[in-house]
Structure 1
């Protein structure tokens, strides 16, 4: 994660000289390889400095992309094209910076990796489409079908999933109770990476299902986790053993099994 030169290096360590950052990241590599030298300094400081560098560089990269999206919108507006152009902004994944004891992506289905932006900006000529924010989680699997629906393409959508358009009703207000596809996230077993207790994907395939404000995570053959996304959005307190868990573990397991088998389920994308 190396932001381009220029005014986009907005965050802390991103402005430091490149050689200094590389030296700090090499110390971090030695820390993780258990080969830290005495002259490298305090291990906690080595870890903290490297994570700060990675996070600041990542956020500066996002600032750069944000600026480019702004340029795109400005040019479309200058050309008079926004009236008949739909713009969708989303992302493939988030990034961990030691929140669960590891760095990177493609290693878990925790919120830090799977909660990504989704902006759907309809053509300015479509005044019939409601504007607003949908707070409930939805699945990107439904995005292609949504675009086909919003563009009023007559032929049936060839894409899997359901349109998210029912989340907006004809009165212009949001109707989050309309069901869409269940919000399922998956990551495969990382067989090429050494088994590490803190990194879920090195232990086995991992799946997550969101239901009624909670996320159920199943790490096959290893463990199960449940987090209350309203009370604990950073997923710090695993409530899998909580009394009166609702939905129950039995129901979570059954719903996940039904979805993976392609059978109907009562779970709503909420």
Structure 2
């Protein structure tokens, strides 16, 4: 058991762009975390977008349960609220600048202190925030940068020094639109950065599907530079913990909500697809008391909340669908190989949930099946031979496709059974208006 837990989430960070996962860029602080703990080589997101994946990360439930994603449902077993009910003297801190993780969507629930970058704004609609986002495409970043979030975190951690604490901090510096350090101002010009970010929007909105190799290389360079910037912020946070004698008593968990794509399947940034460039994520559990370990078993975001709860000595909620990832400071030897279900139900140009757009994938062993509810189409991949998911072999393996598809449909039925009456009535009304039922 640990006195404290810090959950570090990094938006849009794919596993294969980190040094501990075999990439070439220097990330010394993330490397240090991996050297003092457990590196999960096969961790997967339960959705390719922030609003949906955080339902799994912070409630250990699937995105399309409880009426779907968007605002945090009061029926979901939300970690901060459960920790407050379990531990008398715990101070809960939430720090983010992603509008989808703001108080507007109910993410402030259960936190003693919550910062989302919008406290000083009097606008409450996502549209107004989206306009601000587009307005700032020419600025270095539309989000509060990690160094500022760190300063906020440090002040709150000093307040909580005599208490137990849970800190969740979410960094946006890897997320599109990409920008650059001031020292790179002469290397990568402002206008070029804007042009690259505009190209990403053109690809997302299907205005073009052509990206040349040089442009793609520039985009990846900027993406990687954002990763190195976040690595510096993590180093700064670790140094603060050491200086204030907090590190030894604190379990750190690093994970991302989803990855980013670079034309592997015809897209940029992250769109409603379920390929591994968007779902294969880093997951590191770290503390100086932990031995360096690498786990090759398949895990997913559902396992994060039970892991945090167990680390803090809280009971596991029966509503949580994941399992604790380690026991007595080592990988749980009883941990079974997991079947990962990932899903999304919106289009590239709208974050509104549509049952028609429901896409579900299932990863079981080496087999991965994609299902698109609108067209009833399926894709099957042997990830041991085809990890990039390029060769659809569904027609060659009917039995495997059929078995996995049945599991997906059983899951979809289960997810809808958790919807409350009001949301269900709205969904049925929407389908009737569209002539679907």
Structure 1 unaligned residues grouped into runs of 5+: 35-42, 194-200, 264-270
| Cα distance per residue 1:170-226 (max 9 Å; x no partner) | 69566375255x411111131846xxxxxxx9x832111110122111012432111
Q: Specify the alignment match of 2:395 in structure 1.
A: 241
Once residues 148 and 14 of structure 1 are traced to their aligned partners in structure 2, the CA distance between those partners, rounded to angstroms, is: 47
Once residues 30 and 253 of structure 1 are traced to their aligned partners in structure 2, the CA distance between those partners, rounded to angstroms, is: 34
Give the TM-score taking structure 1 as reference length: 0.72
Cα gap change, 1:147 to 1:85, in 2 (>3 Å): same
Bigger Rg over Cα: 1
Q: 2:230 matched to 1:65?
A: yes
Aligned ranges for residues 4-19 of structure 1 at < 5 Å? 4-6=180-182, 15-19=187-191
Once residues 346 and 276 of structure 2 are traced to their aligned partners in structure 1, the CA distance between those partners, rounded to angstroms, is: 18
Q: Is the contact made by 1:88 and 1:119 (CA closer than 8 Å) also made in structure 2? A: yes
Aligned ranges for residues 34-183 of structure 1 at < 5 Å? 47-122=212-287, 124-125=288-289, 131-153=292-314, 155-157=315-317, 160-165=320-325, 168=326, 172=330, 175=333, 178-179=336-337, 182-183=339-340
Aligned residues: CA RMSD = 3.4
Structure 2 unaligned residues grouped into runs of 5+: 1-176, 416-437
Once residues 62 and 4 of structure 1 are traced to their aligned partners in structure 2, the CA distance between those partners, rounded to angstroms, is: 11
Equivalenced residues, count: 232
Q: 2:194 matched to 1:22?
A: yes
Displacement of 1:55: 2.0
Once residues 61 and 102 of structure 1 are traced to their aligned partners in structure 2, the CA distance between those partners, rounded to angstroms, is: 19
Give the TM-score taking structure 2 as reference length: 0.46
Once residues 171 and 73 of structure 1 are traced to their aligned partners in structure 2, the CA distance between those partners, rounded to angstroms, is: 20
Of 230, 253, 257 in structure 1, the residue corresponding to residue 405 of structure 2 is 253
Task: Compare the two structures and name the one with the higher strand fraction.
Answer: 2
| Cα distance per residue 1:90-127 (max 9 Å; x no partner) | 111111111101112132111111111111114x35x6
Q: Is the contact made by 1:144 and 1:159 (CA closer than 8 Å) also made in structure 2? A: no
Q: Is the contact made by 1:213 and 1:230 (CA closer than 8 Å) also made in structure 2? A: yes
Once residues 173 and 142 of structure 1 are traced to their aligned partners in structure 2, the CA distance between those partners, rounded to angstroms, is: 13
Displacement of 1:132: 1.7
Cα gap change, 1:90 to 1:30, in 2 (>3 Å): closer
Once residues 89 and 54 of structure 1 are traced to their aligned partners in structure 2, the CA distance between those partners, rounded to angstroms, is: 24
